[in-house]
Structure 1
Amino acid sequence: MNAHSPAGSPPSDRLPDLWDDAKAAGLDEPGQLLYRSNLLGSDLRITNFGGGNTSAKVAARDPLTGAEATVLWVKGSGGDIGSMKLDGFSTLYLDKLEQLKGLYRGIAHEDEMVGYLPHCTFNLNPRAASIDTPLHAFVPAAHVDHVHSDAVIALAASRNAEELTKTVFGGEIGFLPWQRPGFDLGLKLEAVAKSDPKLVGVVLGGHGLFTWGPTSKACYQTTLRIIQTAADWLKANGQRPAFGGERVAALAPEARAAVAARLMPEIRGRIGKEESKAKVGHFNDAPEVLDFVNSNALDRLAPLGTSCPDHFLRTKIRPLVIPFDPASGGIEAAIAGLDDLIEAYRADYAAYYQRCKHADSPAMRDPNAVIYLVPGIGMLSFAADKATARIAGEFYVNAINVMRGATSVSDYVGLPEQEAFDIEYWLLEEAKLQRMPKPKSLAGRIALVTGGAGGIGRAIAARLMAEGACVVLADIDQGALDESVAEFGKAFGKDVVRGVRVDVTDEAAVIGSFAETARAFGGIDIVVNNAGISSAAPVEDTSLELWNRNISILATGYFLVAREGYRLMKQQGRGGSIVFIGSKNGVAASAGASAYCTAKAAELHLARCMALEGAPFGIRVNSVNPDAVLRGSKIWQGEWRQQRAQSNKIGEDDLEEFYRKRSLLQRSVFPEDIAEAVYFFASDLSAKSTGNFLNVDAGNATSFTR
């Protein structure tokens, strides 16, 4: 069982009771419901991310009549109980929900009942009610929890689930066989709850746990107690070793990471050829994952898929197992078999769709797997964005925990194929998908930006992330790198940004940075060569050391970074965009800066050479030429600033104004202006542009394209 703790750092065996009476005393009933929800959602042993829901029946004054009404507060559609706020709850008149029973025409008309829920809304609350609303409304208790505990689902997904429920919980927990959530299940849950006053909850076959109580605290503590009872019973009665024991041994952590970095771009390229279907990957080699992928039971259990609908919706009908022999290290053999393996999965998925579809089913969705299991290595997951890929992996860890528990005391039973299809292609689920916002222009794409912790690099990274890209910041300044990653994590979410310390003149470090990018996100689509220095000296005063330093960073460094990005893009087979941050000085010579100008000119020509070679593979290479970007720029600090001021016989504080007036447009150039040009070359806006350069200098006739 997993908690919100780092991978490989297992939580205590006991679920802690975190209820604080002093804190709860200052909260009203909705506030206590939110407090309870957040506590339950803070531990993945209790429920998975986005899974489960909670409710409270609260007395309130009707805004129309002034009379007292009972209002059901229940988690609305979507959201996560661990992080939700009060606005995440739907509010509905309980008496109106009860009146819906008179409109119910039977299980064949389940979906039409969802259309009635908005008519029960209290106080014009815009939060849409979920399909689970009747299950909470009809339980005759003030407070109700529904969670997806791995320990309880392990019992619920066992061949003899009802018998185990009675054995483990005695007479205080009832049982209902698997049924898709909806109005009819709400009526059945009500009937069971009313049948025996000793009951404090019900196990839903293959699905999860409902518990209830007279107060928010009592309900919370009952939920914890029932889950702990299940976990303790499984631990005391389960057979060992898990999954029939180990069939293969895991590679060392560094070797696992290396295989993942090699394998992920190969998979990503095959499942996301079209830009609109770009995928981001996630790698997980936590101990529970390795237990499963290395086990004797892998080939038997993996095809069974998951049981809980929440697990299934995130992880698909079943995972794809990639044959890999860690003893021989046969990564190339595994890669060679990917085409046939992935195509077979797609064909199997299409056949599943054809077998199970209904006349009104939505069109078949992406037939590629979400979860990829690699013996000796771990689990890879791919989705449209990093958070979804990570969360899909977490859901499959939940499924692994369920299979571990179920097979230790019984036989594991997955969701029946038709039931799985009816959940995956549920028209209500399709409507929810259609309401999702349109993906951003760089959604699913992965970028590496060198000099990423500097002024221009940060602006570029921010622009790319704002359009949905995942970004790796590469920089030699560890302190600035850490600060930048932390700030971007707050602004855009921790999932989409990583930092890696890189000296671009160090070939091994550059190669390692792309391996880290592939392991973190699955591959690469955008490379921005931005790391730089600046220097000024008359040619007769230019030392060999100064010359070599400019060439090493600005020419060789750009070559190493571009070459590795090119190699990875070619390996993926998805094309890509490489953008060089050049300079006006790469086009127009400047006196007193021969080393800098020569290196910048070399960058531009390297970009054109790479554009020629990359074109057959859809790899575009373009350059952006800034001039005098002072704000936030590291290269304008120290000697370069002093040298430029002295060369132009002005004070350092007058430099920005000097360059502004020098430009044709009489405007200053900022990091955000460079970022906008990079976005143009990185995005599909420039899909037919390669080998070009774009001046962003507010106009300088000496650097006009010619």
Structure 2
Amino acid sequence: MTTTAAAELIARSNRLGADPRNTNYAGGNTSAKGTDTDPVTGEPVELLWVKGSGGDLGTLTEAGLAVLRLDRLRALANVYPGVDREDEMVAAFDYTLHGKGGAAPSIDTAMHGLVDAAHVDHLHPDSGIAIATAADGEAITATAFDGRVAWVPWRRPGWQLGQDIAEIKDANPRAVGCILGGHGITAWGDTSEAAEANSLWIIETAAAYIEEHGRPDPFGPALEGFGPLEPAERHAKAAALAASIRGLVSTDRPQVGHFTDADVVLDFLSSTEHPRLGALGTSCPDHFLRTKVKPLVLDLPSGAPVEDTIARLTELHSQYRTDYAAYYKAHASEDSPAMRGADPAIVLVPGVGMFSYGANKQTARVASEFYINAINVMRGAEAISSYSPISDAEKFRIEYWSLEEAKLQRMPKPKPLAGRIALVTGAASGIGKAIATRLATEGACVVIADLDLATAQNAAAEIGTADVAIGVQANVTDEVQVQASVDAALLAFGGLDLVVNNAGLSLSKSLLETTVADWDLQHNVMAKGSFLVSRAAARVLIDQKLGGDIIYISSKNSVFAGPNNIAYSATKADQAHQVRLLAAELGEHGVKVNGINPDGVVRGSGIFAGGWGAKRAAVYGVDEDDLGKYYAQRTLLKREVLPENVANAVFVLCTNDLSHTTGLHIPVDAGVAAAFLR
């Protein structure tokens, strides 16, 4: 049952976390102290409710709170072994939990428990971090806040930092909070309302001070030739670069990408100071844990040709990996975790924007948001002083912290298709939607391509958020629209790994009834359309150098001669041979090309619902409602084929279990002997 103190804490946290000016996603923590009844003794007990490890303030619920006995937490001071062994205190928190304790306590729990205030907020506002990372931040703090905010020199989060803040609060009775050097802010209050008001006052006062006293051009004058390209030109260039960049940053492991050309990024990259500031890296631990200590910054002007840009990025990427390995070697000890990877998480391209990367789309997007936070921090610090982040040695102590490593080890095992990006045509309904849904369920990011944009977007929304699926309009007979759908995948998710040629239609007519228009329509959609999609996708897969899969949803009719079906069956045979041809051509690039031959997928099928079902039922002399049963009875297994059965085959084809299979056609027809492959 939620107590009043916990309920107030959740409401305050949600308000603070909803505004990005206050803190970043999953950053910061808040707490409340109060009294509840001990269910064992029936006596009152003082408790600390604090946001648990890994939670997000904006979406915090009761389940995200850690609940600790305040007396036992504070008694840990008697066994504190000193700053050299302070990490041991995190494990000790388990002995102070109240009941099951709720969420896992974070490293900042000591700060909240030791500070003598009923309510405490620790936040990462851009304005506060700007002062925290200014070269003379301590002096600015004394001036800007009229003695009501104390300065705490940089210290890695932990028990000692909690003690430092508690002592500074006791020594400064006027103080309502403090600036944590290189890091963020902490504020407190006797009530939840007072703590929130103090937090907001610090944030707003810092922003007002920077606005009033800051230089108008903190990043220096514009750098000639590095200004933003026009929107259409920069989006086209971003799409042209995306596959190659993703291939580079996936040297250690496959990454999903995110692209933004936000004004704040383009403005930063058009300034004379951006190379110097980029090289200094980020400072707040929440920032560099997600963005890596430094970005990769292209040093070519905006108008550089794509080929030259890729060549230079390749050189810079090699140097980045060398520099990162040197950073690791310079600061690692015998007890340090192994180097996790030397690829950048942020790639900045002047005139175009920012590419960010992570194990999944959300991680990549959040990395982008954090680097925008870092740009805002650098702007503020440079406006009033000079930007002075914490040292690389201290960054390393955070990045390769044993506690951070333990958190990473607790993360759930990735799903089979995690890190893969799929484009499925004709995916707003039927077989295509089932395929897209299965791929997303298994961890892939999915682009739903269909004739109608609204239908595609609705299907994507049913599958998941924009971090999982997006809908795009694509008439596969139109070369421009096909390329646009591939570009959409590149800009949304950074690349492409898996393409499913599923778009199709059918007209059930005899030879004499089939018109040239009928023939052309079916061949344009399925034969020409598959060719156009495969060609556009192959360019990406080759540029990425990560391999990939192209899968054709063909038909048992590609090998089975049935009545009144010449145009459909002929174009399916065309698709079937495209599989063989492309498997032979693309194998050297690690791209597998396979096909699936379904039969009689009636339920949920857009083709059957569009009149094909009625005509096939008439051919076989059965009611349309019984067509699925009819198809089932003519099979060896006597089972009806559903869209999900086809989706299962697609999933298997693109897993590691079939990593050595290409040029294959898998029947998904419940056993039609006449369609056996020979």
| TM above 0.5 | yes
Alignment counterpart, residue 442 of structure 2, candidates 433, 457, 467: 467
1:27-47 superposed Cα distances (whole Å, 9 cap, x missing partner): 822111000001100011000
1:497-539 superposed Cα distances (whole Å, 9 cap, x missing partner): 1111000000111112111211111111100000000111110
Structure 2 partner of 1:205: 181
Structure 1 partner of 2:403: 428
Structure 1 partner of 2:247: 269
1:520-559 superposed Cα distances (whole Å, 9 cap, x missing partner): 1111110000000011111011111101111111111111
Structure 2 partner of 1:643: 615
1:178-211 superposed Cα distances (whole Å, 9 cap, x missing partner): 0001111111111111112211111110111110
- Structure 2 Cα separation of the partners of residues 634 and 465 of structure 1: 21
Structure 1 partner of 2:228: 250
* Residue identity opposite 2:592 in structure 1: R
- Structure 1 Cα separation of the partners of residues 461 and 315 of structure 2: 42
Alignment counterpart, residue 571 of structure 1, candidates 520, 528, 543: 543
Please state if 1:181 is matched with 2:164: no
Return the offset for 1:261: 0.9
- Structure 1 Cα separation of the partners of residues 612 and 292 of structure 2: 56
Structure 2 partner of 1:130: 106
Structure 2 partner of 1:561: 533
Answer with 264-273 or 517-526: which moved more: 264-273
Map 1:261-660 → 2, pairs under 5 A: 261-273=239-251, 277-326=253-302, 328-489=303-464, 493-660=465-632
2:601 partner SS: coil
Contact 1:324 1:330 (C-alpha < 8 Å) held by counterparts: no
- Structure 1 Cα separation of the partners of residues 497 and 157 of structure 2: 41
* Residue identity opposite 2:652 in structure 1: F
Structure 2 partner of 1:42: 18
Return the offset for 1:653: 1.3
Instruction: Tell me: CA distance 1:651–1:535, structure 2 relative to 1, closer, same or farther (3 Å).
Output: same
* Residue identity opposite 1:514 in structure 2: V
Seq. identity, %? 47
Answer with 231-240 or 329-338: which moved more: 329-338
Contact 1:134 1:186 (C-alpha < 8 Å) held by counterparts: yes
* Residue identity opposite 1:116 in structure 2: A
Instruction: Tell me: CA distance 1:599–1:273, structure 2 relative to 1, closer, same or farther (3 Å).
Output: farther
Return the offset for 1:564: 1.1
Contact 1:323 1:334 (C-alpha < 8 Å) held by counterparts: no
Return the offset for 1:126: 4.2
Contact 2:552 2:596 (C-alpha < 8 Å) held by counterparts: yes
2:368 partner SS: helix
Structure 1 runs of 4+ with >4 Å offset: none
- Structure 1 Cα separation of the partners of residues 125 and 273 of structure 2: 23
1:648-678 superposed Cα distances (whole Å, 9 cap, x missing partner): 1121111111111111111111010000000
- Structure 1 Cα separation of the partners of residues 205 and 143 of structure 2: 11
Return the offset for 1:146: 0.5
Return the offset for 1:63: 2.1
- Structure 2 Cα separation of the partners of residues 554 and 294 of structure 1: 46
Structure 1 partner of 2:656: 684
- Structure 2 Cα separation of the partners of residues 640 and 467 of structure 1: 32
1:689 partner SS: coil
1:132-176 superposed Cα distances (whole Å, 9 cap, x missing partner): 011011111100001001001101100001100011101111111
- Structure 2 Cα separation of the partners of residues 478 and 260 of structure 1: 23
Contact 1:132 1:181 (C-alpha < 8 Å) held by counterparts: yes
1:45 partner SS: coil
* Residue identity opposite 1:35 in structure 2: A
Contact 2:457 2:470 (C-alpha < 8 Å) held by counterparts: no
Structure 2 partner of 1:104: 80
* Residue identity opposite 2:289 in structure 1: L
* Residue identity opposite 2:336 in structure 1: S
1:145 partner SS: strand
* Residue identity opposite 1:79 in structure 2: G
Answer with 236-245 or 177-186: which moved more: 236-245
Please state if 1:236 is matched with 2:212: yes
* Residue identity opposite 2:520 in structure 1: N
- Structure 2 Cα separation of the partners of residues 650 and 285 of structure 1: 57
Structure 2 partner of 1:15: none
1:229-287 superposed Cα distances (whole Å, 9 cap, x missing partner): 1111111111012300221211011111111111121011123257xx11111111111
- Structure 2 Cα separation of the partners of residues 555 and 46 of structure 1: 54
Contact 1:324 1:331 (C-alpha < 8 Å) held by counterparts: no
- Structure 2 Cα separation of the partners of residues 665 and 273 of structure 1: 46
Q: Over aligned residues, Cα RMSD in angstroms?
A: 1.2
1:209 partner SS: strand
- Structure 2 Cα separation of the partners of residues 65 and 245 of structure 1: 68
Alignment TM-score, normalising by the size of structure 2? 0.98
- Structure 2 Cα separation of the partners of residues 209 and 109 of structure 1: 25
Return the offset for 1:288: 0.9
- Structure 2 Cα separation of the partners of residues 344 and 478 of structure 1: 43
* Structure 1 unaligned regions, length at least 5: 1-25
* Residue identity opposite 2:267 in structure 1: D
1:638 partner SS: helix
Contact 2:249 2:345 (C-alpha < 8 Å) held by counterparts: no
1:124 partner SS: strand
* Structure 2 unaligned regions, length at least 5: none
Map 1:59-74 → 2, pairs under 5 A: 59-74=35-50
- Structure 2 Cα separation of the partners of residues 227 and 487 of structure 1: 39
Return the offset for 1:639: 2.4
- Structure 1 Cα separation of the partners of residues 560 and 24 of structure 2: 59
1:82 partner SS: helix
1:429 partner SS: helix
* Residue identity opposite 2:510 in structure 1: P
Answer with 330-339 or 206-215: which moved more: 330-339
Contact 1:305 1:415 (C-alpha < 8 Å) held by counterparts: no
Alignment counterpart, residue 223 of structure 1, candidates 173, 177, 199: 199
